[in-house]
């Protein structure tokens, strides 16, 4: 260990810490802002007497913004979107991993292209269509459009998990007199269970974090937290403590879930392109 080498090691660690200050300070600052009483918002920065008033106001709907309801809406449409995607996506992923057939690759790439399509290409026609069909500002309408986010993710990642699975086990089950369906449900599915759990949570996070769909396709009944949090910024003097509290409450579910699926994130975020 020369002096020079040790110095470089120190510098590298310092650079790393610097990046993490940049990454974590905004979150810490939101916690501070959300705990500040309204009269100390701008008088001091780092010294204040903490209070939960901001959270009480946000969760008590006292600003005329029904935040708890938006939170429940986010929960309902995100869970609904993930369940629907699992229901149609798992069989499709299994079929495309196990059999090569006409049109399967085209279908897969069509699905993948949704991931990169500008959302408004689909949303603006839907905005017109939903008004006609009565789906505007409804759970059903939101669950349907969120398939754009959740379905490609679930199909592509599950396909890579099924492809990694050796087919021998299912073939053995077939020889034992299982039907194809039983082999899928009783042999293949249990083996990829951790993958299914992880991809479901990741899809939930992306559905929860979505903003552009509820912004355009809901107005009040089915509005979600991402749009709701932005409403606190309205007015000439945005109420910083309330905005911060609303922002924090709305990031709690995704952050908690993300920490539980760390091991699966690389495959999930890259659509199966990179396996850790």
Partner 1 sequence: MGWRPALRPYLLIVPALLLTCGILYPFGLGLYYTLFDFSASKPQPDLVRLENYTTVFTQEAFWNSAWVTVLYAVGAAVVETVLGVSVALLLHRSSVIGRVLEKILILPLMIAPVIAAIIWKLMLQPSVGVVNHLLRPFGLGGVQWTDTPTGALLSSIAVDVWVYTPFVAILALAGLRSLPTSPFEAAAVDGAGWWYTFRRLTLPMLWPYVLVAVIFRFMDSLKVFDIIYALTEGGPGDSTVVLQIRAYLEAIRFQRYSFGISYTIVLWAVVYLAAMVLVKHLGKIQRKAAEVK
With CB under 8 A as the contact rule, which of the stretches 63-71, 125-133, 169-177, 191-199 interacts with partner 1?
Answer: 125-133
Instruction: Round to whole Å and give the CA distance between 42 and 111.
Output: 49
Q: Indicate the residue among 62 and 179 with the shorter CB distance to partner 1.
A: 179
Pick from 77, 86, 92, 173: which binds partner 1 (CB under 8 A)? 92
**Binding to partner 1, residues 1-40 (CB under 8 A):** 9, 12-13, 15-17, 19-20, 22-24, 26-27, 29-30, 33
Q: Is 124 in the site for partner 1 (CB under 8 A)?
A: yes
* Residues sharing a CB contact under 8 Å with residue 103, sequence separation 6 or more, in sequence order: none
24 versus 52: smaller Cβ distance to partner 1 = 24
Return the residue of 73, 210, 218, 223 that touches partner 1, per CB under 8 A: 210
| One-letter-per-residue 3-state SS of 10-54 | HHHHHHHHHHHHHHHHHHHHHHHHHHCCHHHCCCCCCCCCCCCHH
DSSP string for residues in 49-93: ---SHHHHHHHTTTTS--HHHHHHHHHHHHHHHHHHHHHHHHHHH
Total residues at the site for partner 1 (CB under 8 A)? 89
- Residue placing its CB nearer to partner 1 in the complex, 191 or 215: 215
- Report, in Å, the least distance between residue 269 CB and partner 1: 6
Query: Residue 191 in contact with residue 165, Cβ under 8 Å?
Result: yes
Of 113, 171, 220, 260, the one binding partner 1 by CB under 8 A:
113
């Amino acid at each position: 260990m020369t002096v020079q080498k040790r110095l470089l090691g120190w510098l590298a660690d310092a650079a790393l810490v610097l990046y993490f200050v940049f990454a974590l300070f905004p979150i810490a600052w939101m916690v501070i802002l959300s705990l500040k009483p309204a009269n100390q918002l701008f008088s001091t920065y780092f010294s204040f007497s903490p209070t939960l008033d901001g959270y009480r106001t946000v969760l008590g709907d006292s600003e005329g913004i029904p935040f708890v309801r938006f939170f429940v809406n986010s929960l309902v449409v995100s869970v609904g979107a993930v369940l629907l995607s699992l229901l149609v996506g798992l069989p499709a992923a299994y079929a495309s991993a196990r059999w090569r057939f006409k049109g399967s690759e085209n279908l897969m790439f069509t699905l993948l292209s949704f991931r990169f399509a500008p959302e408004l290409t689909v949303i603006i026609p839907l905005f017109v269509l939903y008004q006609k069909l009565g789906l505007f500002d409804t759970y059903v309408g939101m669950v349907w459009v969120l398939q754009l986010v959740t379905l490609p993710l679930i199909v592509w990642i599950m396909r890579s998990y099924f492809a990694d699975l050796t087919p021998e086990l299912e073939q053995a089950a077939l020889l034992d007199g299982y039907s194809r369906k039983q082999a899928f449900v009783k042999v293949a599915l249990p083996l990829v269970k951790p993958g299914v759990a992880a991809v479901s949570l990741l899809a939930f996070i992306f559905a929860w974090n979505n903003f552009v769909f509820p912004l355009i396709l809901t107005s009040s009944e089915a509005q979600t937290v991402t749009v709701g949090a932005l409403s606190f910024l309205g007015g000439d003097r945005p109420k910083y403590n309330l905005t911060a509290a609303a922002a924090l409450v709305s990031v709690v579910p995704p952050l908690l879930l993300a920490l539980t699926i760390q091991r699966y994130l690389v495959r999930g975020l890259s659509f199966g392109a990179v396996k850790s």
